[in-house]
Amino acid sequence: MNAVVKQTFFIAGTDTDVGKTVVSAALLQAAKQQKNLATLAIKPIAAGCEQTPDGLRNEDALTLSKWASVKLDYQQINPITLKAAVSPHIAAARENKNLSADRVVGYCRGAMMNRFDLCLVEGAGGWLAPIGPRETMADIAKGLGQPVILVVGIRLGCLNHALLTAQAIQRDGLKIAAWVANIVDVDMLAVEENIATLQRMLPAPMLGVIPYMSEVSIDEAAQHIDINKLLNTV
């Protein structure tokens, strides 16, 4: 294991379905391929889980498990499993579960006791996605206190979503370490101009642009990530 780096980042998205998991997996693979880092990944809350012989499982959490080099039990990767693919607070209420940011942070810190060089904690939904009556994903990120990697889904409206999310992250007292552009709309106009605007206006370096992929390939996505830019932010 490389002893140069031991760093944790919170993965936030500008919205739901912007490719947080694809970007997270690409970061894990890029860290392994480019720097031979030992990588760990956590998806503490997952809404949209399917019943399997091994229990409830979430596709995003399974993807993170596949691409992280440090292998954990599923319960450590995804301690809170919710059946309905809706906002976590709604899914939890349907199952009579009470989610607590402090408890989620505790689960994450437990997983982080494993040895790693690079750890990614992937949020659910956007920055202010509710997890309960008064708490949001932001409360989990604040409890962890780690720098944030912002995943920007490049589609119509991404400028406003990205800038508002960046403003909210900074207002909550956290550092935006870097961001990744993930093209999710193949028909979007002025893609290069939108990305150039974000490069000027977001307060962090861009790690790369992941092109639109009709069939997702994490190996291909990883080729578009410059992991050195991330390590230079710590």
Indicate which residues carry an active-site annotation.
43
- Cα-based distances in Å from 48 to 90, 103, 200, 218: 12, 20, 36, 21
In which order are the strands placed within the sheet that holds 176-183? 39-42, 118-126, 7-13, 148-154, 176-183, 206-210
Determine contact, residues 180/148, Cβ cutoff 8 Å. Answer: no
Determine contact, residues 13/126, Cβ cutoff 8 Å. Answer: yes
Terminal-to-terminal C-alpha distance of the chain = 18
For tokens 């979503």, name the residue.
Answer: 161
CA–CA dist 209, 191 (Å, integer):
11
CB-count exposure of residue 35 (10 Å: 0-12, 13-18, 19+): middle
Determine contact, residues 171/136, Cβ cutoff 8 Å. Answer: no
CA–CA dist 232, 166 (Å, integer):
20
137 is written with which tokens?
A: 């994903």
CA–CA dist 164, 155 (Å, integer):
15
